[in-house]
Structure 1
Amino acid sequence: MTEILAEASPTRSVSKAGATDNAAAQGARGRPPRPAWLLAIVLTGQFMALLDVFIVNVAAPTIRTELHASGAGMQLIVAGYTIAYAVLLITGARLGARHGHRRLFLLGVALFTLASLSCGLAADTGQLIAFRFVQGAGSAMMLPQVLSLIQRTYTGSSRTRALGAYSAVLASGAAAGMIVGGVLVSADLYGLSWRPVFLVNVPIGVLLVALGLRLMPRDRRQAGEGSRGLDLPGLLLLAAAVTLFTVPMVLGQDQGWPLWCWASFALSAVLAVVFGAYESRLARRGGAPLISPVVLRAPGMPRAVARIGLSMAVNGAFLLVLSLHLQSALGFSAQQTGLAFVPMAALFGVIGLNWQRLPARWHGALAPVGLVLAAAGYLGLGLLLRGGGDGGAALYVLTAACGAGVSMAFSPTLTRALATVDPEHAADASGLLATTSQIGMLTGIAVFGAVYLGGAGGAGAHMAAHSLWITCLALGGTAVAAVGTGLVRPRR
């Protein structure tokens, strides 16, 4: 960690000669920039961090039993990571632009790895909750840098392929978390029960830091970069607004949506308006707002934000609801539940990596077609399981269709939006879209989870199947509504 802190001086020269000298110095040390290695390192880090959003869902029943956790304690174990991650994402993006994306990425990996070790060794509920929050903070430092590093390292078709890999990993991480969590819990490695879902991150994180220090090109300041202030008032307003939104989203369902949840939502909305007004005023005065207006005005960016938010909302909700239904209503084991998502995760990745191989004239139609396909998958799955059965082989076909549809919507939307953003604004775009994805997922889980649990609550398999059908109808309707985001054309 000391070596990470020592690198990437903020006062490094921005001249062309200085950049050349730096590259030559790297070559003299035998460590020139290696774009292929950089992509492998940052995407592995991203995948590792995204797994932890969902991996604990599968392990939650075992954790609760062994640690004797209360309902509120269990919610914070599951949600603490997500709350810290969502609240600090924009901050992580801005710190990366100010102090170096490589430096912040490696610091984030190191913090995440230490927190994962601590989670795996936690002796009680309080310790596990605290370390989950630290894990989320590490992810918030790490993940915004991934997109910024890709934007800076790759150009042309290479950037398109790298962004395809980025979106495939980002979109499939949640499904993979369900799979890996189920396998690890069922395997009960060395009698450690749930602990390997955290400890598995430790050797991976150590390897990533070691490789990153050796193979990732050092941070180089570009002209005008880093001169933007940190905008502390904006950071505080945004963090408060996101916190007041995310906390009731993750805790409200289990507590029956008490009054404090609605008061928190209302105050979050007020602070969001205040944040928007403050940032607009700061930009008019020639200051440095938290998110550059250039990013917000980029062609297709507002539409991308809406579509990505809705896509992640239905995707996150579907993963949670189907997992609950398979385990609680149909009696699937953790491993069986995880394996049910294998086709979905596989198609996410395949489509995310290969959609750009299709003729360019088809690219604009991929998102709406994908959303319609996802809607059909949700409705088909709801009908299949409506009678209380497990669906047989058709279950896997329909989950694959859902994964393919969301990937067709998510990956091209993300890549096409980022193509309009210059590399110097990559940090802003990264923070904005990552936060949109996270808040969309949180909202979907809370809203659609409430729909399912409201009808399924301990009433037996038949009522649970009916509740799943209603939830799938709502998911399908939301996916179709997301198609409409492409029908609104921005003013030129």
Structure 2
Amino acid sequence: MTTTTSPAPAGSTPAPSKAPGTDNRRGRFLAVVLAAQFMALLDVFIVNVAAPTIRTELHASGAGLQLVIAGYTITYAVLLITGARLGDRLGHRRMYLVGLAVFTVASLACGLARGAGELTAFRLLQGAGSAVLIPQVLSLIQRNFVGEARVKALGAYSAVLATGAAAGQVLGGVLVSADLFGTGWRPVFLVNVPVGVVLLLLAVRVLPRDDAAERAAGRARGLDLPGLVLLGAAVSLFTVPLVLGEEEGWPLWSWLSLTAAALLFALFCAYESRLARRGGAPLVAPRVLRTPGMGLAVFRVTAVMAANAGFLFVLTLHVQGGLGHSALRAGLTFAPTAAVFGLVGLTWRRWPQAVQGALIPGGFALTAVSTAAVGLLLRDGGDGGLWLYGAFVGVGAGLSLGFGPTLTRALATVRAEDAADASGLLATVTQLGQLTGVACFGALFLNRLESQGGSGAYSSGSALLVCCYALSAVAVLGAVSGLVRMPR
């Protein structure tokens, strides 16, 4: 494992920072792009706690409610790579503004929706806006920050990524409980509108203009429409059963869909390799996939995101379903994990050089121990006492150490001209990791709960323990991968 914390793209001269020179200006630039990232991530989770109210007020069926919740995630995951490529061709600043505008307008439409059908359609549009917006964040950071400034920016990015899930549940619980002016669930969407408008106004002033030469180079590469279609179909077939399969009882179509996704993904890889050999412009540049350490980074990011999302999801099911606590209390339960994840993500690079090489395997090992401790402390249906908060802190610190250094060191060797490819790839992996974690660990929890014939605190605690052991196993795999040294 390399111990350097000052990344510079290998094989190329680092692009000069195009962010305006003063620290204050650079700070505003980073705050604007990360605020949009946080808002879009928040919307993945904020609607969950509003689901019962939405179902009652809009008279939505079970399937309709699933689509309201999952529609955002489906289009978001499917279109992420496309959003990254559009940024490369049309300009990252421009597509950031377009994605933010679409997301903001769709949020307003969601808040004013009169029925479940309308709300589902606008949620799909919201997800599309996020898919255009989110890849630009990493690309803008990668192209406008170098050296230690990039390391710090990526640390802030990691912190935002981690805290969005917990913050979404907390804010959703607050807004639904407040029932502002009798609007019920609508503020969970409408809250995005003023924030989005302010960010648009600030972004126009703060973000540097796109470089004409970079846009020309992006257009020269082409869009690879066949690759987009193949990858979009593969991700769709993978995503839909993950978000809907558990609720439907994993019917035959869900397994056929997952099988077809694997086949289409293999076909996509074969097509992309052939296109590259013929001198074409594949959707993801092969040199990005061959970047030293990128394969390990993809595995580790997937493991961290699956563990993070799975842990939050099954703990939510236990706290709300098994213990009967409110959505707000469930959201506040995650506060220690989210806060420590963010704090460690912002500070790990300042830790002694002697420990830098051990951060990733040590982080995964800490996650393994801490998740098992959470399960053991809650297995009898109790509140876990003060020791539980220590375990939550361990989970947050461990996941942050597994994620932050991995992301920073992987992007350290990516060429500036490949920023869009790397951003789209890692953003997609992040999203698919979260979906996989929720689907797999959620299914394990619910199946164990059902097998014990009850939904009380004791049965729920027992199911949680099994899930925590499984989460620990994933973290152990991450720790083993962390022992492999990533090339400089």
Would you call these one fold, judging by a TM-score over 0.5?
Answer: yes
TM-score, length-normalised on structure 1? 0.91
Deviations 1:301-335 (A, max 9, x none): 10000000011001001111111111111111111
SS for the counterpart of 1:252 is: helix
**489 and 361 in structure 1: CA distance in 2 versus 1, 3 angstrom threshold:** closer
Q: Does the aligned pair in 2 maintain the 1:33–1:217 contact within 8 Å?
A: no
**372 and 33 in structure 1: CA distance in 2 versus 1, 3 angstrom threshold:** closer
Q: 1:469 aligns with which of 465, 472, 476?
A: 465
1:489 Cα deviation after fit: 6.3
1:242 aligns with 2:231: no
1:435 aligns with 2:435: no
Q: Does the aligned pair in 1 maintain the 2:361–2:481 contact within 8 Å?
A: no
* 2-structure distance, mates of 1:238, 1:487: 32
Q: 2:81 aligns with which of 68, 90, 94?
A: 90
**Residue pairs, 1:234-383, within 5 angstroms:** 234-383=227-376
Deviations 1:244-277 (A, max 9, x none): 0000011000111111011111111110010000
Number of the residue aligned with 1:398 = 391
Aligned CA-pair RMSD: 2.2
* 2-structure distance, mates of 1:94, 1:195: 33
**Residue pairs, 1:26-105, within 5 angstroms:** 34-105=25-96
1:152 Cα deviation after fit: 1.1
Q: Does the aligned pair in 1 maintain the 2:314–2:445 contact within 8 Å?
A: yes
TM-score, length-normalised on structure 2? 0.92
Number of the residue aligned with 2:3 = none
**397 and 318 in structure 1: CA distance in 2 versus 1, 3 angstrom threshold:** same
**198 and 395 in structure 1: CA distance in 2 versus 1, 3 angstrom threshold:** farther
Gaps of 5+ in 1: 1-18
* 2-structure distance, mates of 1:309, 1:285: 31
1:54 Cα deviation after fit: 1.1
Larger relative contact order (Cα-Cα within 8 Å, sequence gap ≥ 6)? 2
* 1-structure distance, mates of 2:64, 2:272: 37
**171 and 221 in structure 1: CA distance in 2 versus 1, 3 angstrom threshold:** farther
* 2-structure distance, mates of 1:202, 1:464: 38
Q: Does the aligned pair in 1 maintain the 2:71–2:127 contact within 8 Å?
A: yes
* 1-structure distance, mates of 2:385, 2:119: 37
Number of the residue aligned with 2:212 = 221
Q: Does the aligned pair in 2 maintain the 1:93–1:427 contact within 8 Å?
A: yes
Aligned length: 467
Q: 1:155 aligns with which of 119, 142, 146?
A: 146
Q: Does the aligned pair in 2 maintain the 1:310–1:440 contact within 8 Å?
A: yes
1:485 aligns with 2:485: no
Deviations 1:65-103 (A, max 9, x none): 222222111111111111100000000000000000000
**Alignment identity in percent?**
61
* 2-structure distance, mates of 1:249, 1:466: 24
1:233 aligns with 2:240: no
* 2-structure distance, mates of 1:199, 1:167: 26
* 2-structure distance, mates of 1:157, 1:82: 33
Gaps of 5+ in 2: 1-14
Number of the residue aligned with 2:116 = 125
AA of the residue aligned to 2:45: F
236-245 or 61-70, which moves further after superposition?
61-70
* 1-structure distance, mates of 2:174, 2:65: 21
* 2-structure distance, mates of 1:33, 1:342: 29
Deviations 1:273-305 (A, max 9, x none): 100000001111111110011111111110000
Q: Does the aligned pair in 2 maintain the 1:63–1:194 contact within 8 Å?
A: yes
1:378 Cα deviation after fit: 1.0
